[in-house]
Homo-oligomer: A and B are copies of this chain.
């Protein structure tokens, strides 16, 4: 048998195609998420412009340049915070509405009022509950997005807002709401969103108290 031609020695064989993730690579998604979480908290507490990418890196345990390995720009980080916030919010809202339909109470009569209560309670949880940095950042920092990013976020926000309209419409038809439905929705959202500015759980009121007060304020007897 002739000596085989020398072939370039291949590196130790590795499986073809997409490599199985090593431990470090599997971490990658987590590191990215840690950055988003750190950014959400800092943007919420200090505002976007007053937060440096160095602050965020430090909070995620990285060096100053490292966020830019995961995100093209500071504004992309802000965008990621908002998208994550709206995604989670939409999911929670959908779950709340589903629970409502399957809880067995006779739909027709109680429905719109119970639905509004569920929507409001969910909104308070998103705005003020544990881990609630993402949506407040969206509410108070959307000016800092590029206009292209802003358009995308606005679309997600409209999807989140959509389920409120038929509920308010139904309440209006039963005389429990007098105002124009669209203006009412905007005013109600303002009342809820503004709680981010003043609500302090240490002062005694709970999110349920807040929900009761809101229902009493908006829904007529």
Contact = CB atoms under 8 A, between A and B. Distances in A.
A177 B186 CA distance: 20
Interface stretch (A53-61, A105-113, A210-218): A210-218
Contacts of A90: none
B180 A213 contact: yes
Nearest to A175: B221
A195 interface: yes
Contacts of A179: 212-214, 216-217
A216 B168 CA distance: 14
Interface residues of A, number: 37
B186 A217 contact: no
Main secondary structure of the interface of A (DSSP, over half): helix
- Give how many copies assemble into the complex: 2
A44 B213 CA distance: 31
A68 interface: no
Contact of A190 (B48, B184, B194): B194
A178 interface: yes
A156 interface: no
A191 B195 contact: no
A45 to B, nearest CB: 9
Given A186-B198, A193-B194, A194-B194, 20 more contacts: A46-B143, A47-B143, A47-B144, A49-B50, A50-B144, A140-B140, A178-B217, A178-B221, A180-B213, A180-B216, A184-B216, A187-B191, A187-B194, A187-B213, A187-B217, A190-B193, A190-B195, A190-B197, A191-B191, A220-B220
